[in-house]
Amino acid sequence: QNVNAWLHLQNSGADLDFAYLLTEVCALEGIERVRYTTSHPLEVTPSLIAAHGRLHKLASQIHLPVQSGSNRILATMKRGYTVESYKETVAALRRAKPGLSLTSDFIIGFPGETDEDFAATLQLIEEVGFDGSYGFMYSPRPGTPAADLPDTVPLEVKRARLQALLAQTDARAFEISTTMVGTRQRILVDGHARRHTLELRGRTDNNRVVNFPGGERLIGHFVDVRITATAPHTLRGELVDLL
């Protein structure tokens, strides 16, 4: 859940951080694209931010779970950061890598979450402009401190809030997908399309799934496609160059 906290301790005292690891991986021959998940806002260091600006093989996308837009809820979650510091981190990443795609996680209905807290989450989504999100309704996990808190948010309220959040983030994601129609994208073909098994699917640099007609020999390779249409959660494309 916090891969960017990776640290290699050395006897010399010059410890090697996650940005160093990414640099070494990007230097390997035969690797064209590097993507990592999941990261924690507290572990987004200046060196990692700089890496996003200088490593061309590093995907122009980062998944950075914020969980809530309410400072009160973040403190109860013991996340260790504030809404303000999260937005500062996002701004620094986007300065280093203009056009960076940002996705996030949200926990809805955490114990004590009020209408005002949820409204703050929707406000954060509007301000940051996430490229996509994963939303989850809170449920107690045995052994965690939160499990001892009263689960005060009714299930029907959690469901309504989750639907409102997903509607907002999905609308933003669809807007971004629409701007990609007509563009040329390099995708890694990772298998057959889910609904149409005679077609293939792959992911763009900003982690969009593209379905397109193509032969099985393309699986495992990078190809260039032109985006022809957008759907709620996928794109359609056509091959530009064949292997």
Q: Which residues face 203 on adjacent strands?
A: 188, 209
Using a 10 angstrom Cβ sphere, with 0-12 exposed, 13-18 middle and 19 or more buried, the burial of residue 227 is: buried
Helices and strands in the chain, H and E counts: 6, 10
Residue 43 amino acid letter: E
Using a 10 angstrom Cβ sphere, with 0-12 exposed, 13-18 middle and 19 or more buried, the burial of residue 56 is: exposed
What span, in angstroms and rounded, lies between the C-alpha atoms of 234 and 181?
12
Residue 208 amino acid letter: R
First to last CA, the chain: 37
pLDDT at 44: 97
pLDDT at 13: 74
Q: Which residues of 175-194 are buried (b: 16+ CB within 10 A; e: fewer)?
A: ebbeebeeeebebbbeebbe
Q: Which residues face 104 on adjacent strands?
A: 133
Q: Is the dihedral of CA 5, 90, 159, 72 positive or negative?
A: positive
Residue 150, token pair as written in the block:
């009263």
pLDDT at 29: 95
pLDDT at 243: 47
User: What does each of the 243 residues of the chain score in pLDDT, given as a tens digit?
Assistant: 799 999 988 877 778 999 999 999 999 999 999 999 999 999 999 999 999 999 999 999 999 999 999 999 999 999 999 999 999 999 999 999 999 999 999 999 999 999 999 999 999 999 999 999 999 999 888 888 888 888 889 999 999 999 999 999 999 999 999 999 999 999 999 999 988 878 999 999 999 999 999 999 999 999 999 999 998 889 999 999 654
Q: Is the pTM of this model over 0.85?
A: yes
Among residues 16, 61, 66, 77, the alpha carbon closest in space to that of 41 is found at 66
Strands 209-213 and 199-203: antiparallel
At residue 120, φ and ψ (nearest 5 deg) are -65, -35
Among residues 112, 117, 235, 93, the alpha carbon closest in space to that of 177 is found at 235
